[in-house]
Amino acid sequence: METSSQPKQVVIIGAGFGGLRVSRVLAKANVQVTLVDKHNYHLFQPLLYQVATAGLSVDDIAYSTRAIVKNRKNVIFRMGEMTGLDFDSKTVLLDSGTLSYDYLVLATGGATNYFGLSSVEKHGFSMKSLDEAVTIRNHILYQFEQAAFEKDPDKRRALLTFVVVGGGPTGVESAGALSELIYLVMNKEYPNLNFKEVRIILVEASDKLFAAMPEELREAAVETLIRKYVEVRLCVQVIDYDGNFLFLKGGEVIPTRTVIWAAGVKAAPILSQLPIERDAMDRAIVNEYLQMPDHPEVFVIGDSARFEANGRPLPMVAPVAIQQAECTGKNIIHALTGKEPIKYAYHDVGNMATIGRNAAVVHIGKVKLKGFFAWFIWSVVHILRLIDFRNRFVVFMKWIWDYLFYDRLVRIITRQ
Amino acid sequence: METSSQPKQVVIIGAGFGGLRVSRVLAKANVQVTLVDKHNYHLFQPLLYQVATAGLSVDDIAYSTRAIVKNRKNVIFRMGEMTGLDFDSKTVLLDSGTLSYDYLVLATGGATNYFGLSSVEKHGFSMKSLDEAVTIRNHILYQFEQAAFEKDPDKRRALLTFVVVGGGPTGVESAGALSELIYLVMNKEYPNLNFKEVRIILVEASDKLFAAMPEELREAAVETLIRKYVEVRLCVQVIDYDGNFLFLKGGEVIPTRTVIWAAGVKAAPILSQLPIERDAMDRAIVNEYLQMPDHPEVFVIGDSARFEANGRPLPMVAPVAIQQAECTGKNIIHALTGKEPIKYAYHDVGNMATIGRNAAVVHIGKVKLKGFFAWFIWSVVHILRLIDFRNRFVVFMKWIWDYLFYDRLVRIITRQ
């Protein structure tokens, strides 16, 4: 029987960095929280490229969402995909039923943005999900298995040419990790392949890598990649890809079987199906409290939200999602107790990215670091961010092993 | 240019326990060895059920075959599937080309034997490959996600009923591991499920589990399973399964969405396409040297071979494959040097199986052990058998973690 003292229903869509953090802030509030995700795990996206390049196992960066929330007594996890939303009846539609809410948090995350290049979408690889990362790993390893017994030199070189598109952290980290996989590990195991035939090409449309970093660190990143035999191609735009040939603006053609697209992100597709105001990247326009302007009971955070600070939209990165989750959790508690909501204020926590062993760039406030010390900080920060002790420990041990023995042991092709 | 001193070509089909061991024996012989497998990894099959029950990751029990053979200078690995064999021209057909041989070793392993029960083959689960084990894991976890929000009690109970068919080591180990996954780990994480609705049923057509073990140990296994809430059903035969209802001989019907078939093995299907003499399980009949009677340059070992000792065909287990590989490797070296071949003699190395934490049965010669000490021996033996140091270490750490914290951390649903 419903009484007025029954706790309010909070529905959170998405168990990424943002959604999970909201559930943590609300863990002791007088609300009933339902956390919904289409997967039953939380994915540690920043290390996804290490799954794609055979450094880590799937299980090292994915962690059961139920296990995370099991001690939060007012939080229930429900596996399901959001298919629609009725603002009037305050109901979320899932593929497996419906959920009523008093407060809704949309934290549905990001998706790959091909900017309309459907040929690349069809023949290239995206790296936003665990399945996609495993698909890339299987594909890369399989190119070598085919090349090892391919007698036609043109076909063989196309099999051994790997193009990464996008000069942001994901593209640079992938290119660096790919180089180490190939030149430090695999070159010991294909006696009948000539590794001079391998090409790794990083393509970026603008004139810089790591656009958010200071120039000194950008230059260091380029130098490190070149030392790792990565061809860095700036000011080059991809216009077409048919699975065998990559066409660049200006007429250049690269024969390659592997194009990894890390050149753009946008909000997850579900947002574009809702009757809401969005920006060009499909992100919902939110007010200063991260609410939908016409529906203050609906909050949007992380990659799903467009929020401007200092006249520029915030980047689609984990720290923003976590900060916005903290703010949203508090604002739901404020709403329950009749307090005024607080405005979200962005705090820049800096940027870091690794290019490979002993090589990273770190930019926090006025601190700029590169080389071994930056790499060490990057490693510690990422280990600490991993969600539970065992994942931390296994990842730590694997990194130590790979570092000492120049090895990558997650090199199995699981699907064909 | 071919000269008479060019080394002989040895082709080994299959990189399981048998094929891999032959390549090791031949590592320093004056032969060129090509080791072929359809996967690029060696699979440690005895622990496959732990992947299916969320205890271990895929990468913990699969290891790059190239990495294993990289220091064997005369051994080349080739990824490919055997599609045919021409005895006259001494040529193996692969999906990716052909290979000529002077000596051929068929070590193609086993497959699931449904004994003609095509409905079970269609709707049930087999557990012979890594992909199949992951499919089972995903399916089991997904049943709980569905059941947690299923309001119809009949449907919910069918979702929560798990049937394992087959009372050999694989079936018993799977049922025990499933019980621990469900009653020690998952029961903490589904607050809205009543775990009294869960059923785990082990079905065996004969009147005993572990037919190869002494009675004392067989009884201990049954008792342990019952303590773990596994319903042990002996003398019961499966006759049909439509994906929702399992039909047993005598009219009993069990509503269940999950039937894991561990009731039979046979040789891999490729053997049945060759013009050779086979037994009822598709295994090639071999002579006392493990050769095909009409083709002494072709050896067949492990699950692919039918070999009798003491009037009974040898079981399809790893120790037999490894012993036969040792014999075959030596006989190829003998043939090169003109020596007489040696006859294969079977050495019984005993049997062991685990039913769960602190519970296993071990039978070696006159030694019969059960309980904690047997479990300890089982654990040490399996850790030592894992192929490289890192896999050993990671598996060891995961087992310790699960043992201490009653946890299973590999609980992500990777495909739907």
Alpha carbons A279 and B300: distance in angstroms, whole number: 65
User: For residue A156, what are the CA distances in angstroms to A229, B80, B333?
Assistant: 19, 17, 35
CATH 3.50.50.60 correct for B8-38+80-112+266-336: yes
Q: Which residues of B378-404 are buried (b: 16+ CB within 10 A; e: fewer)?
A: bbeebeeebbeebbbebbeebbebbee
A277 is catalytic: no
Alpha carbons A265 and B271: distance in angstroms, whole number: 50
CATH class of B118-263+350-405: alpha beta
Amino acid at A27: A
Confidence of residue B400 (pLDDT cuts 50, 70, 90): confident
User: Tens of pLDDT along B287-317?
Assistant: 999 999 999 999 999 999 999 998 999 999 9
Mean pLDDT rounded to a whole number for chain B: 94
* Neighbouring C-alpha atoms within 13 Å toward the C-beta of B377: 16
Q: Give the residue extent of every domain in chain A.
A: 8-38+80-112+266-336, 118-263+350-405
Q: What residues contact A323, with CB distance under 8 A and at least 6 apart? A: A344, A346, A347
**Residues of B classed as catalytic:** 173
Q: Are B53 and A407 in contact (CB under 8 A)?
A: no
Q: Which of A38, A37, A59 is nearest to A50 (CA)?
A: A59
User: What six digits make up the tokens of B124?
Assistant: 């049930």
Which residues of chain A have a CB within 8 Å of the CB of B57? 57-60
ipTM: 0.91
User: Tens of pLDDT along A182-209?
Assistant: 999 999 999 989 999 999 999 999 999 9
What's the CA dihedral at B165, B169, B170, B175 to 10 degrees?
60
Give which of A412, A413, A416 to mutate to test B binding, by max B Cβ within 10 Å.
A412
Alpha carbons B141 and A65: distance in angstroms, whole number: 12
Q: Are A85 and A74 in contact (CB under 8 A)?
A: no
B70, B97, B414 member nearest A131 (Cβ): B414
Work out the minimum CA distance from B9 to partner chain A, whole angstroms.
17
User: Tens of pLDDT along A327-343?
Assistant: 999 999 999 999 999 99
User: Tens of pLDDT along A43-99?
Assistant: 999 999 999 999 998 988 999 999 999 999 999 999 999 999 999 999 999 998 999
Whether A96 sits inside 8 A of B190 (CB atoms) is no
Whether B409 sits inside 8 A of A397 (CB atoms) is no
User: Tens of pLDDT along A202-240?
Assistant: 999 999 999 889 999 999 999 999 999 999 999 999 999
Averaged pLDDT, B238-247 = 98
Residue A98, chain B, CB below 8 Å: the answer is no
A40, A78, A149 member nearest B412 (Cβ): A40
Alpha carbons B288 and B103: distance in angstroms, whole number: 17
User: What six digits make up the tokens of A238?
Assistant: 């991809």
Q: Per the residue annotation, which of A132, A145, A150, A173 is the catalytic one? A: A173
Would B8-38+80-112+266-336 and B118-263+350-405 be classified into the same CATH topology?
Answer: yes
Whether A145 sits inside 8 A of B188 (CB atoms) is no
pTM for the model stands at 0.93
